């Protein structure tokens, strides 16, 4: 007994945790109106209250609730899907790099590897600000160095850019573009 309730309070993304304030406010307002209607209103006030309820009920049927709810759900689902599709998965870029940055020697391999490292680094920097799991995995920039996504020289260059007024997720992308330009010059 109580296992489901305990699970609801342990679950961080629970719907009940999102709406419990509104639910408590609604229940309190309902209880107050119910107590007033049953115990404090006179017969004339009860009839006036019933007329207000009937008046509100006639207008609630003009726009069906299922239509409004369906529209809202479609809108929320559409926004979620567009945000999901906006996540820059590195797979497509990896295939382009493998196609256009040629060379079977060690230099070509290291160029491709460094470019992908920069892309993955920029993705991790973005995801650190929105994902608690990624933030736990990489709580500091030094953890990115330990994991091999950045070396110590790049860390110093990254920290040298002031990040008070704006985010610095773009810095590895700049490194990527500069490396791509150098690669194109060297053919």
Q: pLDDT for 37-65, tens place per residue? A: 999 999 999 999 999 999 888 887 777 77
Distance separating alpha carbons of residues 74 and 72, to the nearest angstrom: 5
Report d(CA 71, CA 169) in Å as an integer. 35
pLDDT at position 187, please?
A: 66
Please tell me the predicted confidence (pLDDT) of residue 77. Answer: 92
Where is average pLDDT lowest: 69-73, 83-87, 181-185? 83-87
CB-count exposure of residue 89 (10 Å: 0-12, 13-18, 19+): exposed
Task: Give the pLDDT of residue 170.
Answer: 87
Mean pLDDT of 108-124: 90
Q: Where are the alpha helices (DSSP H) in 61-167?
A: 65-85, 91-100, 106-130, 132-137, 141-147, 152-160
* Cβ(174)–Cβ(121) below 8 Å: no
């Amino acid at each position: 007994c109580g296992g489901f309730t305990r699970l609801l309070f342990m679950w961080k993304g629970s719907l009940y945790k999102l709406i419990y304030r509104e639910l408590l406010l609604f229940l309190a307002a309902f209880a107050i109106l119910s107590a007033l209607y049953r115990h404090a209103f006179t017969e004339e006030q009860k009839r006036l209250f019933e007329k207000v309820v009937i008046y509100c009920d006639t207008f609630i049927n003009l726009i069906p609730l299922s239509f409004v709810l369906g529209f809202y759900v479609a809108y929320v689902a559409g926004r979620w899907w567009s945000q999901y599709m906006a996540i820059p998965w590195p797979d497509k870029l990896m295939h382009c790099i493998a196609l256009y940055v040629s060379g079977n020697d060690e230099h070509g391999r290291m160029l491709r590897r460094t470019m992908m490292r920069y892309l993955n680094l920029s993705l991790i920097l973005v995801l650190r600000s929105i994902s608690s799991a990624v933030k736990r995995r990489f709580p500091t920039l030094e953890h990115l160095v330990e994991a091999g996504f950045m070396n110590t020289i790049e860390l110093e260059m990254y920290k040298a850019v002031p990040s008070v007024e704006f985010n610095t997720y773009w810095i590895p992308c700049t490194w990527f573009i500069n490396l791509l330009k150098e690669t194109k010059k060297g053919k």
